[in-house]
Amino acid sequence: MSKKLIECDVCVVGSGAGGGPVAYELSKAGHKVVVLEKGGWYGEKDFKKDEMLGRRRVFRSKLENERHVLSEPDSDGDFSESTTSQFWGGNIVGGATNFMSAYFHRLKPQDFKLLSTFGAIQGANIADWPISYEDLEPYYVKVENLVGVSGKVVDHPNLEPRSTPDYPFPPLPEHPIANWFDKASSELGFHPLPMARGILSRKHNNRNSCELSGFCGSYGCHSGAKASSRAALLDDAVAGGNCEVIPFAKAYHINTDKEGNATSVLYYDKNDETIEVKANKIVIACYSIESSRLLLSSTSEKYPNGIGNQHNQIGKNLHCCAGGTGHGIFDLTKLPQDKRAELMVRGPFFNRALQDWYTIDDKQLFDKPVKGGTIDFVFDPPSAVSEAIDQRFEDGELLWGTALKQKIKSHFTESKDFKFEVFCDWLPNDDCHVSLDEQEKDKWGSPVAKVKVGFHEHDTKVAQYIVDKGVEVMKQMGADNAYGNVWTEPTSNLMAGGLRFGNDPKSSALDANCRVHGTKNLYVSDGSFMPNGGSITPTFTIYANAFRVADKILETM
């Protein structure tokens, strides 16, 4: 029996990129909205410019309280299991958007028609989206203006169609070596482009512009410039009077009526007492793994295997972000003083990307055109302690004393590491999905999510092709050492899918409006809906689709 009952028009579970837009739009339209957030409410004053306060140490669930069971391929061709907390992107109001690097590329038209454009690949569950790029484009524009995206549109071979000529906020200040990159890329025949960022370059809606501290990816934003769901949307929604955000609210069950429609959400408060939230519309936005887990856990006489799981589609077709990373190491002692000074400048972002291989048509390696990817070129956030720790070994031997001191000094004064990240599709497949573990339970006694993360070999082939291009650029820029590698392990913070949307309930969990098949009032608005992730980071698209879902819900109200 519930200790307390809360009633509202709309209950949103989760407050990140999927939940924030729904809460914002529906509360602004005059509906009473309650947002349940498992984590605490923190703001700009809590985000210090200190590498010891990254999200992994402070703003995430503890392994002893709740975890995931990770099942991943091993060297024997089988799957091995372990427990992990790596997939908690951020238990905090605003979710993982507080800690993102905010690379805000749009998807392109071919991302919405992956199957019909590039054809089937054996062993991959590829599907076209039930909507088109044109359906989502107005919502990309809305995110750019309301949430805040800075950048500059330049013409290039893979530029997606736009209804507006440019971003509403000018680019952030450029790092001096952006010119090195532009020159080197052009010499190779590539098309360098400024990278749009979900970071304000000027004040907007009570948020300050970027402070250029460098503490961005994996860190909370001290100025409010980063386009977190809290800073950009929820603070305003709550101030409007129709939106209530309840922190430390762990949702664990969705109740349904005899017809199978959602009636209420049960959650544990910070004292582990059960509270019930009754609502006309319920929207799930907990991040792919936890959204699937919540639906699977919400069993009833109507749904013995979880809400919407009549065709065993809940948790299926999860996907991470395939790709890789690489580095260019510049020997500062070989550079003239002016070049060395440019390379060592701290503060401005290096906002550059390449999308020349968004479609790969190389008949020497592929028998037909295949979907490619994006390379983003970046500097890592300041992390002196972790960089120093990384110097402990040389040729497999532990260093200490003078040898270690000399290596640390050389690392910080004689070389500079420049980095790139490659993003391409992690093809959905039968070995990548979410289920409930039969043995592991969280501190409340609920089964934890079991995350199986098998990948398709096609992903690594595409990734390696593009990583090699990144290494080529680094060498052209003058790096003394350049190298890269592809990812075969799951990315901890860039998962999507698990609750694919589509027109057929036998092959999808949600309809085209992201409503759970078989229900009239239960929606999912986080990245779970995506049939494929595209060759970019997904947050911008999650934001855009959540605004679209909000409009679809409003049409029913």
- pLDDT tens digits, 220-238: 898 999 999 999 999 999 9
Q: Which of 334, 335, 375, 369 is nearest to 356 (CA)?
A: 375
In the predicted model, is pLDDT for residue 54 greater than 80? no
* Domain residue extents for the chain: 4-555
Flag whether pLDDT at 310 surpasses 60: yes
- Cβ burial 58-67 (10 Å sphere, 16+ → b, else e): bbbbeeeebb
**Phi and psi, residue 288, nearest 5°:** -50, -50
Q: Is 229 helix (H, G, I), strand (E, B) or coil?
A: helix
Mean pLDDT of 197-223: 90
Distance (Å, rounded) from C-alpha 298 to C-alpha 122? 34
Confidence grade of residue 203 (pLDDT, cut at 50, 70, 90): very high
Q: Give the neighbor-by-neighbor strand order of the sheet with 432-441.
A: 79-84, 68-73, 447-453, 432-441
pLDDT of amino acid 1: 45
CB count within 10 Å of CB 510 equals 26
| 356 bridge partner residues | none
Structure tokens at 475: 């060498």
Query: Does the global pTM surpass 0.85?
Result: yes
Query: 200 pLDDT exceeds 90?
Result: yes
Please name the residue ranges forming H helices in 164-252. Answer: 178-187, 229, 235-239
From 172-181, 354-363, 401-410, 472-481, the region with the lowest mean pLDDT: 401-410
**CATH of segment(s) 4-555:** 3.50.50.60
CB 490 within 8 A of CB 320: yes
**CA 486 centroid distance within chain:** 18
Identify the three-state secondary structure at position 344: coil
Quote the pLDDT of residue 52.
Answer: 67
Q: Tell me the percentage of the chain whose pLDDT exceeds 90.
A: 76
CA distances from 149 to 181, 224, 268, 417, 500 (A): 23, 13, 36, 27, 27
Residue 337 tokens, joined: 């003083």
Q: Are 302 and 282 in contact (CB under 8 A)?
A: no
Question: Tokens 């027109």 belong to which residue?
Answer: 503
Q: How far is 537 from 374, CA to CA, in rounded Å?
A: 9
Those residues with Cβ within 8 angstroms of residue 423's Cβ, 6 or more apart along the chain or in another chain: 321, 322, 323, 373, 374, 375, 376, 535, 536, 537
Tell me how far apart the alpha carbons of residues 422 and 409 are, in angstroms, rounded to a whole number: 30
Look at residues 261, 243, 300 and name the one whose alpha carbon lies nearest to residue 36.
Answer: 243
Q: Is the pLDDT of residue 359 over 80?
A: yes
Report the DSSP pairing between strands 352-354 and 193-194: antiparallel
| Res 417: pLDDT | 87
Candidates 311, 335, 253; CA nearest to 286 is 253
Q: What is the pLDDT of residue 56?
A: 52
Least confident range from 19-33, 163-177, 392-406, 497-511: namely 392-406
CA-wise closest residue to 409 among 394, 392, 388, 385: 388
